[in-house]
Amino acid sequence: MAHWRRLGSIIGGRRIIGALGALYVIFAVLRVFIGFNIGEPVSSIFIIILLIAVPGFVLIYGAYWLSRGDINTEFHADIAGWCLVGFGTMAGLLILFHLQPEGGISEPLTGIPILTALSSVAGLGIGIYDGRAKSRTRQLKRRANQQDAVAELGQIALETDDLDDLMYEAARKVADALDNDYCKVLDLDPENEELLLRQGVGWKEGITGEATVSSVEAASQAAYTLANNHPIIVEDLETETRFSGPELLTSHDVHSGISTIIGPFNEPWGILGTHDTVRKEFTEEDVNFVQSVANILAEAIEQAEKEQQLRERQAQLDVATEAASIGIWTWDIQEDVVTADEYLAELYGMDPVTVTEGASIEVFYDQVHEDEAEETKSKIKRAVEDTGELKAEYRLKDGASTWVEIRGEVEYDGGEPIRMHGAVANITERKEREQRLEELIGQLKESNERLEKFAYAASHDLQEPLRMVSSYLQLIDSRYDLDEEGEEFLEFAVDGADRMRSMIDGLLQYSRVETQGDPLEPVDLECILDDVRDNLQVTIEENSATIDTAPLPRVQGDPDQLRQVFQNLLDNAIEYSDDQPTVHVTAERNGTDWIVSIEDDGIGINPEEQEQIFEVFQRGQSRSDGDGTGIGLALCERIIERHGGDIWVESEPGEGSTFSFTLPSSGRQ
């Protein structure tokens, strides 16, 4: 049968049937012609026509019908075989009958053709019946194979994480199920407008992973498929008019095939194509099968891409958490399972398996130092029940040397707390730094207090001997009659003692700024300025000075100390000016603070001195011979700092100076 089928398929089953039919028709015509010539009755001629020509026509029609019927072409040769078997059997029987001693066919030229024609038609009928049954079985088997292939591929897609493996398997199964020579998975590279033969079966060695086809050229079946957004079937590439077929197909002698898109049409990943070297018809089911496989591939590719993204993100997160020394944790509140990463396990000194697989939150509470345990628990409770956010710092149980900071955020579902995600960081170093800083601040405070006490005691105790020096100098002056030079020396000595007293007074005030100051309270600067103006009345008049003030605010301050600040600054403004100075006092708002400025048109200050003058006993070069002690601005700075503000000067030598300082507003403006 196999040999016959091969021979049949070479000659063509339909051709054989058609030719047999044609022979009968020709014979019938000849027989009629002979019948007329020998004067046979018309009725017998008619019967001959009916019994020979009609079966002939039936055979010819049968051959034609097979081209459109639902019987697989592969079985056409078998049908032709059945015809010939019908013909041969009848012919054999007739020959046997004819060879009988009493037998013999009276009219062999009529009887034999009639009987063989009829038996050929009977053979055709049996063949068609047989071919149909076989076709149907073949179809069912094919469909079952296709379904099996789809199911198996789905399973492989679930199990493997190697896309190329899956693609190869897909290609193999498609080619097998459709009985095709080739199958290919093309990977689209939109930038280069080409498709790479990523995996496939049947292709010449060495081209898988190398060969490309254009994704835009008119010759390419793949390009045509991409442009049309639906599966494309080719029955015969030689007669195909939509495209001519790219080199990859023509060089493999491809004639027929199906190609379909992998992935969404608007964003295709590539093409799945299967081809055969013979002309072939494909059913709608075949196309659906190829599409199903393409869909499995598309899903697997999407999944793989998502997993890849996830892996990349996880890797980034790992790098970030490692660099930042951060551990990540999640608490399933409903199930009470905390899972965390290995960094956290290491930090807490816990078993990494317990930590990564998950444990009750109680297990983690156990790691918290007892001093902070209750507070931490209540903070977590508050986060879950109320705030949704957690921030806590605590020591670990490990001998209380490790400090951690924990932060978390609660995830709710319809108001119900579901999970809390968070991070934990080792803050031991920061804590140690803070602790050291606190210790240093404490030491600094202590030493400052000691210094203040010393300065106070020293300046206070110095006053007494100084008073003695002054009173004895006065005694000398009143009791002794000194010559002119002696008077002059005495004057210097008294002057020196006076200067010293002023300096000691200044020092005393300076050392008392922090310790002896009053609490800060709302102060009206207008009133302060009025007092200062009264105090400086004599100076103002002597120098014909004008003090010009803008409205001044209420601030938060110590009235006595602020009086000292205004007095020093106004006094300086007048002192370090030439005749008839004009001083402007202004105030401007700066957020929650006020900036108060005292501007004069005096001698100004050299830029290099503008910082020094705020130091104790530092005097400007300009008037170093004057009366001042060099402590006024230092005192102002200390007072302003006590109020949480800053003081600075802007000045142009010869043009004037503007001293500005900030004070907190009283909040009742």
Measured from the CB atom, the residue of 402 and 572 that comes closer to ligand ADP is 572
> Would you give the distance in Å from CA 523 to the centre of its chain?
56
Least CB distance from residue 638 to ligand ADP, whole Å? 11
Measured from the CB atom, the residue of 92 and 653 that comes closer to ligand ADP is 653
Least CB distance from residue 578 to ligand ADP, whole Å? 11
Least CB distance from residue 621 to ligand ADP, whole Å? 7
463 Cβ contact partners less than 8 Å away, ≥ 6 residues apart: 501, 504
8 A C-beta contact, residue 557 and residue 640 = no
Measured from the CB atom, the residue of 244 and 622 that comes closer to ligand ADP is 622
Measured from the CB atom, the residue of 73 and 567 that comes closer to ligand ADP is 567
Helices within 324-358 (DSSP H only): 342-348, 352-357
Least CB distance from residue 504 to ligand ADP, whole Å? 14
Least CB distance from residue 609 to ligand ADP, whole Å? 7
CA 189 to CA 197: how far, in whole Å? 11
Mapping DSSP onto H, E and C, the string for 382-426 reads: HHHHHHCEEEEEEEECCCCCCEEEEEEEEEEECCEEEEEEEEEEE
Measured from the CB atom, the residue of 197 and 570 that comes closer to ligand ADP is 570
Least CB distance from residue 629 to ligand ADP, whole Å? 5
341 Cβ contact partners less than 8 Å away, ≥ 6 residues apart: 321, 327, 328, 329, 355, 356
- DSSP code for 626: S
Least CB distance from residue 603 to ligand ADP, whole Å? 5
CA 180 to CA 273: how far, in whole Å? 11
Least CB distance from residue 650 to ligand ADP, whole Å? 11
CA 65 to CA 96: how far, in whole Å? 34
Least CB distance from residue 548 to ligand ADP, whole Å? 15
In angstroms, the Cα distances linking 545 to 333, 620, 622 are 77, 22, 20
Measured from the CB atom, the residue of 401 and 606 that comes closer to ligand ADP is 606
Chain positions contacting ligand ADP, by CB under 6 A: 568, 572-573, 576, 600, 602-605, 613, 619-620, 622-623, 628-634, 657
Measured from the CB atom, the residue of 245 and 602 that comes closer to ligand ADP is 602
Measured from the CB atom, the residue of 262 and 573 that comes closer to ligand ADP is 573
Measured from the CB atom, the residue of 254 and 574 that comes closer to ligand ADP is 574
DSSP symbols for 435-471: HHHHHHHHHHHHHHHHHHHHHHHHHHHHHHHHHHHHH
Q: Taking CB positions, which residue lies at the least distance from ligand ADP?
A: 620
477 Cβ contact partners less than 8 Å away, ≥ 6 residues apart: 490, 494
